[in-house]
Amino acid sequence: MTEEPMLMRIPPEIRMLIYDYLLDNGGTKDISIRNQSKCEYEARRSKSRRSTYNIMERTIAKKSYETTYCADPHPRRSMHTAIMHINRKIREEASHFLYTKHAFHFGEDLQAVVPFLADKTPRTRDLVREISLYKRSPTNTMEPDSQDWTSVCRSLRSLQSLDKLTLVIEGARPRGPWDGPQSLTVSDFRLLYTTRHESLDWARELESLKTIKDVVIVADIHHLPHPESNMMLVLAAFSSSIDTSLVDFLRDDLGIPARSDKMATPAPPEDQARLLEDALVAVRQQTSLMRKCLDTPGKLMDALKCCSTLVSELRTSSLGPKQYYELYMSVFDALRYLSVHLRENHPVNHLADLYELVQYAGNIVPRLYLMITVGTAYMAIEDAPVKELMKDMMDMSRGVQHPIRGLFLRYYLSGQARDYLPTTESDGPEGNISDSINFVLTNFVEMNKLWVRLQHQGHSREREQRIRERKELQLLVGSNIVRLSQLVDLETYKSSILAPLLEQVVQCRDVLAQEYLLEVITQVFPDEFHLHTLDQFLGAVSRLNPHVNVKAIVIGLMDRLSEYAERDGPDDKSDDRAQIEADALAKLLEKVNLQKELSTATASESKPSEEDGKLGDSSEAAETADADKPPVGKKPTAKSTDEATEENTGESSNDDSSTLAESTPSVADTETTAVNGQGSITDTVQLYEVFFAQVKNLVEAQHLPVQDIIALLVSLCNLALNIYPDRLDYVDQILAYATAKVRENINNADLHSPPAQQSLLALLQAPLSRYVSPFTALSLPTYVPLFQSQSYPTRRAVAGGVARTLLKNQTKISTTEQLENVLEVLKVLIKEGSQAPQGYPGVTQRRPVETDETMEEQGWLARIVHLLHAEDNDTQFKLLQMTRKAYSEGNERIRTTTPPLITACMKLARKFKQREHFDDNWETQSNALFKFMHSALSTLYTRVNGSGAAEMALRLFASAGQTADLVGFEEVAYEFFAQAFTVYEEAVSDSKAQFQAVCVIATALHQTRNFGKENYDTLITKCAQHGSKLLRKPDQCRAVYLASHLWWATPIVSNGESEETELYRDGKRVLECLQRALRVADSCMETATSIELFVEILDRYVYYFDQQNESVTTKYLNGLIELIHSNLAGNQQDSASVENSRRHFHQTLENIRSRQYEGVVLTPN
C-alpha cells in the first residue's frame, strides 16, 4: 500500500491556502485561454494531447491552419498546476479550487471554447462558474463569427453550474455627434429582433442559455469615421446603445439576466433605474402628444407645451451621467423632430416670434432647450441675425450652472448650431468666421468650468465615483475642440485659437482636464498646425499641474510629428546610406577631436596657481567654454553666454559630449537642411532643435522624474533618427544629455525602476536598429559612456542585440576602432557574473554555473571572431590580438572563444605564406603569429579545467602544428606537436579519450610534409608508442595499425601533390606495425573481438598491397585470410558481432576477387 503524501496530512484549511498560492494568477482570478500561434503549435505538436481545430489566418490570404488552445503565455504570475498531478485526491481538491475560483477569458478566440470544454470530464465541466467571451460587432460583415458563436452557445448549454457570462461586444462610433440616429431604443431593438435583422442573430443563441444567472454586457467601443452609409449609421447607433438599451432589451424582452458592467458598482441611494424608466415613459408619452399636435394645423402652442413638459425631465439631479445621457438622447429625438418641423413651416409660424415666445417658459432648463431649438432653426433661415442669436443663446445658457445639466445643455447648443455657424468674412448681422470661433471658444470655456466643478460635488468619499463620472462626460467638452478644428486654417489657429485654448487648459489646474484636453488638441488639429506652433504648445505644457503626466503628452506629440515629417519628406531610396552615415560620422569625430584640442589648449594656458590648486575645475571650465563656441567656419549666433551654457547642460560631464548641435529655441527663427537633402516641411521648422530645447525646459520647470526624462529622450531620439538620419550630432546630443541625467541620479531609486531601465534600453537600442551599420551607433562619442553607466541587465541586453545584429547581417569588422567599440560593448558578455550598477548599493552576484543562455552568448562571441576581416594582414593580426586580450577576461569561458581565434590565426598564417614573395618581413610576422597562437593555447590548457578541455587543447595544438608545417616552419611545427604530446601525457587519462587523441595526432602528422627525417621519425614513433600502450587491447590494435599510415604518405591533391610526387614511405615499418597489430588482436580474450580486428587488419593489408608496398606480399594476405577462416570455422558463438564480422570479411574477399590479385587464395584449403 502506497504511503499517503505529506500534503494530505496537513489540515484542509491550510491545504486550501496552499492551493490558493500555487494556483494564483497574479491576483487577477482570471485565466486567459487563447488560440496557440502557428509557430508554437508546430513546435509542441508532438507533445500536446489537447483537441485540435482549424482557424483562419488574419491575413489577406485567409488560409486555414490547425492549432489548439493554450493558457495566456504572459500571465502576471506562473501558476503551479503540477501539484494536480500528485494523486487523485489532490487533483480533485485543486481542480475544484482552479475551476470554481477563476474566470476563463477566451477573448476573441471563440474557436477555443468548444475544444477546451470537450477535453474536460463532466465532473470538471460542472466546476466552471464564470466565462468571458468577445463578440465581434454584429454589423461586421468582414469577419463574421456567427458559426463559431452558434457552436459556443451550444457547448455552453451543457454547463449546468455556469453562473456568470461576461460578454464583451465590439462597437464603433465617432467621437462626437453625427447626422442620424444617435442610439437605438428598446423598441428599435425589438423591431430588429422581430424582423430577424442580422445584427441580433447572436441574441437568439444567447436566449437559449437558460442556466446562466448573470450576463454582464461590456461595450468595447472603437473610433469610427463620420458615418456616411446606412450600415455605418446602424453601427454607430447600435454601439451607443450596447450598455443601455440593448441591456434593457435582453433583460426585459428576451428574459436574459443581463446587466451593464457600469452597473456593477453599488447603486446610489436613489433608485436610478426606476427614476430613469419613469422619466423615459413620460418623455415617450409627451413626444407622442407633441407629434400629434405638430401634425394638426393650429396646435403649435400645444406642441410647444408638450415639448416643454418632456424637456422638464432633464431638470433631475438624481441620475448619473450615463442615465442622464440616455434620458437626454430620448429628449433629443423629440427636439430634433420639432426643429425639422419649425424649419419646414417657417413662413406660417415665423421663427423670430417663436424665439421670443419660448423664452416665457416657467423653468430655465425647458426654456433654454426650447430657445436653442427655435434659435438654431432660425439661424438656418436666410437673412437671420445669426450673430445676435449666437450671442443671446450663449449668454442665456449661463443660467444653468449645475455641472451635468449645464454640460448637456451646452453640448446640445454646440451640436444644434454646428451646421449653421457663419464661415464668411462679412461684417453684417449674419456674422463671420470670427464670431463662430468666439462662440465655440466661449462654449468650450464654460463647459470646461462645469466639468472641472463636477469633481467637487458630493462627499469626499465619493471622489473615485466623481472621477469615473467626469471621464464619462469628457467627450462633451472635447466636442468643442473638434468643432474648432473644422472651422480654422493654420493662420487663424496660430493667431486666434491656440492661445485661448492653452490658457484655459493651464488655468483650470485640474489634472484630468489638462491631460484630456491636451490630448484632444493634439489629436484633432492637423499635424502641420502643431509643427508651426511647437513653442507655444510646449511652453504651455511646462506650466501644467505638476501631477499631470507630461511625458505622455509630449511623447504623443513628438511621435506624431515624427511620423508626419517622415511622410512629408521624400522617400530615401538612395543606395549609399552607409556612405552618408560614414561621412557624417567622420565629420562628427573631427569636430570632437577639434574641441578636445581646444579644450586642452585652453587648460594649458591657465595660471600656474590654478593648475596646481584646481586642475580638475579648470579643465571642466575650459571644456564648457569651448562647447559654447560656434563650430569653425560659422559665425557665432546672437545668443547670450548664459543661454549657450544652458543649452550644453550635461555636456561638460564628458569630453565626448561636447559635440552638441546649436539649439534654437524659437520656431519662427529656425532654418534647417531638408530631410535627406530634399525639400520638405522641415525646411522651415527645425523640429529637433525646438523639441530638445523645450524638453530641457520641461525637465527644469516640471522637475520630472528620471524615468520620464529618459522616456522623453527615447521619443526625441526616434524623431532625430527618422527625420535627420545624417545628423549624428543630434543623436549624440541626446545621449550626452541622458548620460548627464543618469550620473545625476545614480543613487536615485527611480533610475533603477523597471520603467526607467526599459526606457534606457530603448534609448540605447534605437540607434543600433536605425543605422545601416551598428558601428555608426557604437562610434558616437557618448554612446559607450552611456552604455557603461547602465545596470548589468541593460548592458547585457544591448550587448546581445549588438552581437545578434552583427551575426545576422554578417557585418565585417575591418578596423581597430570598430573592434574596440564592439569589444567595449561585448565586455558584459565576456566577463562572468552580473555586476551591480555603479553607485547603486547591492551585493555583486556570481553565477555558479553556466546556463543555456550564457552558453549561447559565448557562442555569439565565438562566431564574431569569424567576422574579423581587415584589408591587410598586419591589421588582421592586430584585430586578433585585441580580441584575444578582451576574451581572456572571461576566465574559463575562453574554452568557447579560443578555438575560433586559433582557426582565424591558421587562416592568417596561410595568408602570410601567400605574401612571401611580396613582403620581406613575412617570416617575422609568421613567427609572431605562431607565438601568439602558442600563448593562447597554453593559456587555454593551463586555465581551463573540466571535461574535454585538455582534449580540445590537444586538437588545437595538433592543428596548429599542421598549419606551421604547411607554411614551412618546421621547428614551430615540431614544438606544437611536442606540446600536443605533453598535453596527452599530463592531462588525458580516459582510455577512450586517449585513443581519440592518438588518432588526432596521427591524422595531423600524416598530412605534414616539411619535417626533416629525424624530427618526423621522432614524432611518429612517439605516436605509435602511445598507441601501443593504450589500456584496452582493441584500442591498442587499432591505434597501431592506424599508425602504420605514418610511414606511408599518400598524395594530397589540395596541396598540388600527385602520384609522381616523392613522398616519405617505409614499407618495412608499415609491415612491423601491421604484424604488431595482429599479435595484439590475437591476444584478445574474446574470439569475436579478435575476428573483428583480424578483418580490419586485413583491410589494411589489402590497402598497402594495392599501394604496391613491396613488404606486404601475398604470403601475408593468404596467411591472414586463412587465419580468419579458421577462427570463423572454430567459433561456436552465434552473436551479432560475429555475424557483422563475417559479412565484413566476405565483402573484403569480394573486393579482393574483383581486383584479381595474383597468388591470393580466398578459400580455405
pLDDT digits (tens, 9 = 90+) for 838-882: 444 444 444 446 788 888 989 999 999 999 999 899 999 999 999
Q: What Å distances lie between residue 550 and 509, 748, 755, 1005, 1099, CA to CA?
A: 13, 21, 15, 73, 84
Cα atoms in the Cβ-side hemisphere of radius 13 Å centred on 290: 24
- Residue 1160 is predicted with a pLDDT of 84
Give the lowest-confidence range in 116-125, 311-320, 582-591.
Answer: 582-591
Reply yes or no on whether the pLDDT at 464 is more than 90.
no
Which residue carries 498531478 as its cell?
85
CA 907 to chain centre: 40
**Exposure b/e, 1001-1030, CB count within 10 A at least 16 = b:** bbebbbebbebeeebbbebbebbbebbbeb
Q: Give every CB contact of residue 464 below 8 A, 6+ residues apart in sequence.
A: none
**Exposure b/e, 1052-1074, CB count within 10 A at least 16 = b:** eeeeeeeeeeeeeebbebbbbbb
- Residue 609 is predicted with a pLDDT of 43
Q: Residue type for 552, please? A: A
**Model confidence at 832, in pLDDT bands (50, 70, 90)?**
low
- 559, with CB counted inside 10 A (0-12, 13-18, 19+), is middle
CA 951 to chain centre: 42
Q: How many CB atoms lie within 10 A of CB 303?
A: 22
- Residue 848 is predicted with a pLDDT of 45
**Model confidence at 272, in pLDDT bands (50, 70, 90)?**
confident
Q: φ and ψ at 258, to 5 degrees?
A: -95, 150
The winner for highest mean pLDDT among 732-741, 942-951, 1150-1159 is 732-741
Percent above pLDDT 70 for the chain: 81
- Residue 698 is predicted with a pLDDT of 84
Q: Which residue has the higher pLDDT, 140 or 465?
A: 465
Q: How far apart are CA 548 and CA 558, in angstroms?
A: 17
Q: How far apart are CA 249 and CA 207, in angstroms?
A: 12
Average pLDDT over residues 987-1007: 93
DSSP label of 265? S
- Residue 206 is predicted with a pLDDT of 84
**Model confidence at 263, in pLDDT bands (50, 70, 90)?**
very low
How does strand 30-35 pair with strand 69-71? antiparallel
The pLDDT tens digits of the residues spanning 633-687 come to: 333 333 333 333 333 444 433 333 333 333 334 544 444 333 343 445 555 667 8
CB-based contact 567:580 (threshold 8 Å): no
Reply yes or no on whether the pLDDT at 363 is more than 90.
no
Q: What is the pTM of this model?
A: 0.63
- Name the residue ranges covered by the structural domains of the chain: 6-34+70-263, 272-487, 1063-1155
- 246, with CB counted inside 10 A (0-12, 13-18, 19+), is buried
- Residue 572 is predicted with a pLDDT of 52
**Model confidence at 1070, in pLDDT bands (50, 70, 90)?**
very high
**Model confidence at 837, in pLDDT bands (50, 70, 90)?**
very low
Q: What is the mean pLDDT of the chain?
A: 81
Q: Which residue has the higher pLDDT, 1120 or 627?
A: 1120
The pLDDT tens digits of the residues spanning 525-579 come to: 998 898 888 888 988 988 888 888 888 999 999 888 888 877 765 555 445 666 6
Give the lowest-confidence range in 73-87, 515-529, 774-788.
Answer: 73-87
- Residue 638 is predicted with a pLDDT of 33
Which residue carries 488638441 as its cell?
521
Q: φ and ψ at 65, to 5 degrees?
A: -145, 155
Average pLDDT over residues 263-282: 68
Q: How many CB atoms lie within 10 A of CB 632?
A: 10
Reply yes or no on whether the pLDDT at 269 is more than 90.
no
**Exposure b/e, 942-960, CB count within 10 A at least 16 = b:** eebeeeebbbbbbbbbbbb
Average pLDDT over residues 922-947: 91
Q: How far apart are CA 768 and CA 777, in angstroms?
A: 6
CB-based contact 81:98 (threshold 8 Å): yes
Reply yes or no on whether the pLDDT at 246 is more than 70.
yes
Q: Which residues pair with 260 in a beta bridge?
A: 217
Average pLDDT over residues 175-194: 79
Q: Residue type for 415, please? A: G
Reply yes or no on whether the pLDDT at 122 is more than 60.
yes
C-alpha cell at 1117: 594476405
Reply yes or no on whether the pLDDT at 805 is more than 50.
yes
Reply yes or no on whether the pLDDT at 1086 is more than 80.
yes
Residue 168's region, left for phi above 0, alpha for psi from -120 to 50, else beta, is beta
